[in-house]
Every structure is written in structure tokens, then in C-alpha cells.
């Protein structure tokens, strides 16, 4: 079943069951309009960052991908869109009374337990950017026993607030907030949200180990730069500015 709904300037495409909303969006990118949101109740082969998988934890969670077509040429700010979305998610969690933090670059966690993950993908045709796909998964209504079987500490919004969460209501809040500053974010870049992002950053001024490809860098997470990179003072007292990586 395919259902189309329009929210603000976004078009929602609901698919009952799909292997991956990101994969679907990528494969159908040329026919999907800018600001289309593909979402499903059953994602059978969810993709995660760094070639990991995103587990399916039941139908009443968020498995969604936003299709964006801001321009044909790539701009630096596009790589910060996952950070923009992570901030939006923390703001929405706050509306439910839940204090969440961002583990650089874009994992959202509550008390050290992951509640949301974001995966950005892109597609090019003849050197031109066809579009970006901003996929996000949010644990909204999970059972404790399912959450405990994941390979890392995780939680779900219903477990944090002690009540079932309305998925459509939550999704609408996220998309409304995403739209609110999207155009300005594309114009101004990460600087627009830097201070807000830093307030929500979980790890600043703390010792961290960051994996960058097959290398591990240990040090103190000192700052987030104007373009969203993580600045670390490593154990040899050298400053390292990391554009990609994974805090372990």
C-alpha cells in the first residue's frame, strides 16, 4: 500500500513494508520531489552508519528518509545536515520532557543510551548532485526485552516517558521543526546551530576515543568548530580537527 500525505511543504510517502527507506529513496531519487519523506512500518534491512545495520524493533517506531534536492552542485553545508537533524530530534524529545544529548556527529542518546540514528546518502548523475537522502530511525515504542538485545545500550521514547507515543504526531513535530530553519541552515551553514548543538553535545570537555577509519585517536573533546568538526586535544597535546569518525 502506498499513501501520500502533505505536511507543510513536505510530501509524505508511506510504504507498509520495505527493505530500507534509504535504499528506496536512492533507487527512486529521480522521480521523488525535493522534500519528500519516505517512511514505513516494517523495514526489513535497515542500513546504519559505517556499514552497520539498523535493527527492526517493531512497527510503531520511526523508519524514515527525507529526500533533499537543494542544488546540483555539492556544498560543504550538506555534510552538516545530519547534525541539523540530530539537533531537531533533541528539541522534539524535549517537548516530551526527555533530555537527550548528541554524540558527535549525530547519534542522539538519553542517559548514554541510543534512541535515534541518522544515515545520510547521496547520488550523482554525470558529476551533478541528484539529491541527498537523510535517513533516520527513532525508537519510539519498543519493548524493553527487544531493546536489551541490541549490540549497544539503547532506549526508546515510550520507556523514557512511561506511555505509548503517537508515531504520526512525533513525525509531524520533527518535520515541522526541520522545515522551520532548513532554508536558513542551507544559506548560513553549521554556524547557525553551532551554539545550540554545543549545548546538546554529550562529550565536550571529556576524554574520548574516536575511531577514524582504522585509526583510534584518544584525547579530550575540546570543541565543535564553525563547520561542525570535532576538535580534540590528543594525548600528545596536539590539536586534531576531525570531520568524520565515531566516538567509541
Identify whether the C-beta of residue 247 lies closer than 8 Å to the C-beta of residue 104: yes
Q: For ligand BTN, which is the closer residue by CB, 70 or 117?
A: 117
Q: For ligand BTN, which is the closer residue by CB, 48 or 59?
A: 48
Candidate residues 15, 48, 96, 172; the one interacting with ligand BTN per rule CB under 6 A: 48
Contacting residues for 178 by C-beta, under 8 A, at least 6 apart: 66, 84, 85, 88
Is 46 a binding residue for ligand BTN by CB under 6 A? The answer is yes
> Mask: binding to ligand BTN, 14-43, rule CB under 6 A, as x and -?
------xxx---------------------
Q: For ligand BTN, which is the closer residue by CB, 129 or 140?
A: 140
Is 156 a binding residue for ligand BTN by CB under 6 A? The answer is no
Stretch that binds ligand BTN, among 47-55, 84-92, 141-149, 169-177 (CB under 6 A): 47-55
Closest CB 50 distance from ligand BTN, rounded Å: 7
Q: For ligand BTN, which is the closer residue by CB, 51 or 205?
A: 51
Residue among 147, 1, 123 at smallest CA distance from 67: 123
The count of residues interacting with ligand BTN (CB under 6 A) is: 19
Q: How far apart are CA 198 and CA 92, in angstroms?
A: 17
Q: How far apart are CA 129 and CA 235, in angstroms?
A: 39
Candidate residues 54, 104, 178, 197; the one interacting with ligand BTN per rule CB under 6 A: 54
Please report where in the chains the cell 545520510 appears, as a residue. 120
Closest CB 60 distance from ligand BTN, rounded Å: 14
Residue nearest to ligand BTN (CB): 117
Q: For ligand BTN, which is the closer residue by CB, 86 or 158?
A: 86
Is 155 a binding residue for ligand BTN by CB under 6 A? The answer is no
> Mask: binding to ligand BTN, 99-138, rule CB under 6 A, as x and -?
--------x---------xxx---------------xxx-
Summarize as ranges the residues that interact with ligand BTN (CB under 6 A). 20-22, 46-49, 52, 54, 63-65, 107, 117-119, 135-137
Amino acid at each position: 500500500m502506498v499513501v501520500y500525505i502533505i505536511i507543510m511543504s513536505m510530501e509524505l510517502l508511506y510504504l507498509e513494508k520495505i527493505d530500507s527507506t534509504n535504499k528506496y529513496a536512492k533507487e527512486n531519487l529521480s522521480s521523488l520531489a525535493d522534500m519528500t519523506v519516505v517512511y514505513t512500518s516494517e523495514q526489513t534491512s535497515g542500513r546504519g552508519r559505517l556499514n552497520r545495520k539498523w535493527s527492526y524493533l517493531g512497527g510503531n517506531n520511526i523508519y524514515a528518509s527525507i529526500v533533499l534536492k537543494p542544488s546540483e552542485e555539492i556544498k560543504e553545508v550538506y555534510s552538516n545536515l545530519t547534525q541539523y537533524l540530530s539537533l531537531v530530534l533533541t528539541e522534539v524529545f524535549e517537548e516530551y520532557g526527555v533530555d537527550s544529548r548528541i554524540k558527535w556527529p549525530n547519534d542522539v542518546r538519553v542517559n548514554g543510551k541510543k534512541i535515534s540514528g541518522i544515515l545520510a546518502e547521496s547520488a550523482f548523475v554525470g558529476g551533478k548532485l541528484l539529491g541527498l537522502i537523510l535517513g533516520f530511525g527513532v525508537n519510539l515504542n519498543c519493548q524493553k526485552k527487544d531493546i536489551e538485545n541490541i549490540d549497544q545500550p539503547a532506549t526508546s521514547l515510550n520507556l523514557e516517558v512511561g506511555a505509548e507515543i503517537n508515531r504520526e504526531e512525533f513525525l509531524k513535530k520533527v518535520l515541522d521543526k526541520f522545515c522551520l530553519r532548513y532554508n536558513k541552515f542551507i544559506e548560513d551553514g553549521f554556524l547557525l546551530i553551532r551554539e545550540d548543538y554545543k549545548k546538546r553535545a554529550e562529550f565536550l570537555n571529556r576524554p574520548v576515543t574516536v575511531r577514524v577509519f582504522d585509526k583510534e585517536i584518544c584525547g579530550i573533546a575540546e570543541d565543535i568548530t564553525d563547520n561542525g568538526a570535532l576538535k580534540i586535544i590528543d594525548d600528545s597535546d596536539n590539536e586534531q580537527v576531525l570531520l568524520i569518525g565515531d566516538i567509541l
